[in-house]
Amino acid sequence: MLNENNVRRADATPHASALIEGLRDIGYSLDTAIADIIDNSITANARTVRILTEVFSEEPYIAIIDDGDGMSEVELVAAMRPGSRNPLATRDEPDLGRFGLGLKSASFSQCRRLTVISRRSGGTSVAVWDLDDVARRNDWAIQLPDNLPEISAIDHLGDSGTLVLWQKLDRLEGSGSFSPEKRAELINQRVAEAEYHLRLVFHRFMEAAKPLRILLNGRQIRPLDPFARKNPATIHGPDESLTLGGRTVEIQSYTLPHHKQMSKAEWDEIGGPEGHQKSQGFYLYRGNRLIIHGTWFGLCRHSEITKLSRVRIDISNQMDADWKIDVKKSSAQLPPLVRERLKKVIERIQDGSKRTYRKRGQKLVDQDRLPMWHRIQAEGQIRYRPNVEHPAFAEFATRLPEHLRREFFNCIVLVGASLPVEALHADMAGSAEQIVPDRVDEDTLAQAVRATLSVLMTARKSIDEIMALMKDVDPFRSAWEDTQRLVETTLEVREDE
C-alpha cells in the first residue's frame, strides 16, 4: 500500500472558465431546465410558481418566481455553488434535488447570465453568475450586487420567495442574425412546447389536496394525467410493491380507454406530441415528480396493440443511486431486482391494452353481428375476406340474372384480394385513430338498410335485436342517425304494403 506521506501532489483545480462552459452542455432542453428550477421551488414549499417571459425587448429574459421559503444570503451563496450538495447525502422526503447542480447547470444551458433574488424574513439577497465575467476573470466568484437589478419581474416577488432570472439567452436567441420579431417568435415557440412537459412532469403536485399553481405569463396551466384516471373507461390494475434496499417501490398499471371512448381533443392531449405508441410504457416518479416516461426499459417493444398500456412506478428520493437518476432528472435505469420482477408482470400489464383492441375487433368476426369481412387465420397467416353472404350482397345477388351472379361475387372477391395491407400496416403503426370508415351516400346506405332488414326479419329477429346488431357495424354505426331514419322509413313502407 502506498504511503501517503511519500506521494507528491499537484493542484488540479479546474479552470473556472472551461468547466463552467462545460456545465452548459450536460443535455438540458428548455423544458427540462425550467422543470429543474421548479423542483427547487417545490422543495422550498412554494404554492405558486410564475414563469414570465419578455422576448420583444433588446435584452429578452425568462423569469421563474415562487412564493416559497426564500433564502438568506449565506444560503443563497451556497445554492449558487456548483455541487452544493453531495448526491449520496440523505435528503428530506419533499426534497427534489439530486447533485446540487440543477439551478446552475439548468440555467447555464439556456443563458449566460443567471441572477437569483431571494427574500426571507424581510431581507433580500442577490447573487449573479455571469459567464462572460467568469471567462474574463477565470475564477469561481459570483457577484453580490448591493442594489437590486432594475427589472420588471422583481415586482412579482413577494415578501418570501425566490426569483430566478435568465438573461443573455444565447441558446434560445439563435445565431443572433434574426430580427427581433423572429427571435421573439422562436423563443415563444420553445416556451409553448415546454408547457406540455411541465403539465405532465408536475401533474401530481397540481392535482394534490393543496395544489401547486404554475402560471405561464399569467395563465394557469392545467395538470395532464397520463393515466386518464378520471375517465370511467380507464382500467386500473392492482397496486403492487416490492422492497429494494429496505425501501418500497410501488407499481400500478393502467389501460387507457379506446380512442372512441374519449373526445379527439382528450385523446390527442394524452398522446402528446409523439402520439400514443411512443407514450406507452413505464412512468417513473421520484417523490411524485415524473422522471422518465414512454419507455419499456428494453423489456419489450412498443407496438400498436399495446399502446394503451401505461405503468406508474413510484420511488423515493433516497433511491437515486439504485436507479441511476441523472443530473437532469430525465433518465434512469432499472435496478436488476426490479427488472426481474417487471419481466414477470409485464405480460399481464399489457394484456389490458390487447383486450381492449381485441374486444372491439371481435365484433368483426362475430357471425351474429353482420360482419362485412371475415377474419381467417390459418398456417401462421391472417387474411381478411369480404363476407359474400352479407345481407347487402346476398339480397342484391338474388335480383341478378343467373349468369351475372358469379361475376358479381368475383368482383367482391377481387376487392378483398386487393386490400392494401402494406399501407394499412404503415397507417396503423403511425396513427391508427385517424383511420376511419369511408362515408356512404344516402342511396347506398338505404340499399344496405333495406337488404339487412329483409334478411334479418326473415330470420325472425325482432326490431330491437336488428337495431342492436346494426349499431355495432359499419356503415350503420358511423351514420347511425341516418340509419335510424331509414329503418323507420323502410318499416313504414312495409306496413303500408
Same domain flag for 117 and 36: yes
By the 8 A CB rule, do 214 and 220 touch? yes
229 in a structural domain: no
Gap between the Cα atoms of 242 and 414, Å rounded? 56
51 in a structural domain: yes
In the block, cell 333495406 appears at 450
29 in a structural domain: yes
Same domain flag for 475 and 341: no
482 in a structural domain: yes
451 in a structural domain: yes
Domain's final residue, options 331, 361, 391: 361
Same domain flag for 93 and 189: yes
Per-residue pLDDT of the chain (497 residues; tens, 9 = 90+): 556 677 888 888 788 888 888 888 888 999 999 999 999 999 999 999 999 999 888 889 999 999 999 999 999 999 998 865 544 445 455 555 544 677 999 999 999 999 999 999 889 999 999 999 999 988 888 999 987 767 778 889 999 999 999 999 988 876 556 777 888 888 888 999 999 999 999 999 999 999 999 999 999 999 999 999 999 999 898 888 888 888 889 999 899 998 888 888 999 999 998 888 889 999 999 989 999 999 998 888 888 778 888 999 999 888 888 888 877 677 788 888 888 888 777 777 666 565 665 554 444 444 555 778 887 777 677 888 888 888 888 888 888 888 888 888 888 888 888 888 888 777 776 666 777 777 888 888 888 888 888 878 887 888 888 888 888 788 888 888 888 998 888 888 777 66
Same domain flag for 152 and 271: no
Same domain flag for 163 and 254: no
Same domain flag for 30 and 161: yes
382's enclosing H/E stretch is strand 381-386
* CA dihedral for 205, 208, 214, 220, sign (positive or negative): positive
In the block, cell 359474400 appears at 388
Gap between the Cα atoms of 365 and 424, Å rounded? 19
CATH number of the domain within which 140 lies: 3.30.565.10
92 in a structural domain: yes
Domain's final residue, options 321, 336, 361: 361
Gap between the Cα atoms of 133 and 143, Å rounded? 9
Domain count of the chain? 3
CATH number of the domain within which 310 lies: 3.30.230
Same domain flag for 43 and 144: yes
10 in a structural domain: no
429 in a structural domain: yes
CA of 27: how far to CAs of 23, 130, 327, in Å?
A: 9, 20, 9
Please give the order of strands across the beta sheet that includes 48-54: 123-130, 113-120, 161-167, 61-66, 48-54, 213-216, 219-220
- What nine digits make up the cell of 62? 425568462
Same domain flag for 190 and 82: yes
CA of 270: how far to CAs of 238, 326, 375, 410, in Å?
A: 22, 26, 31, 45
Same domain flag for 135 and 51: yes
Structure confidence at residue 495 (pLDDT): 72
CA of 404: how far to CAs of 192, 397, 412, in Å?
A: 62, 8, 13
Same domain flag for 214 and 283: no
Same domain flag for 177 and 65: yes
- Which amino acid, residue 398? T
Q: Which of 282, 332, 272 is nearest to 302 (CA)?
A: 282
Domain that holds residue 75: 16-220
Gap between the Cα atoms of 84 and 80, Å rounded? 8
Same domain flag for 27 and 99: yes
By the 8 A CB rule, do 456 and 367 touch? no
> Does pTM top 0.85 for this prediction?
no
312's enclosing H/E stretch is strand 309-315
Domain's final residue, options 311, 335, 361: 361
How would you class 4 by CB atoms within 10 Å of its CB: exposed for 0-12, middle for 13-18, buried for 19 or more? Answer: exposed
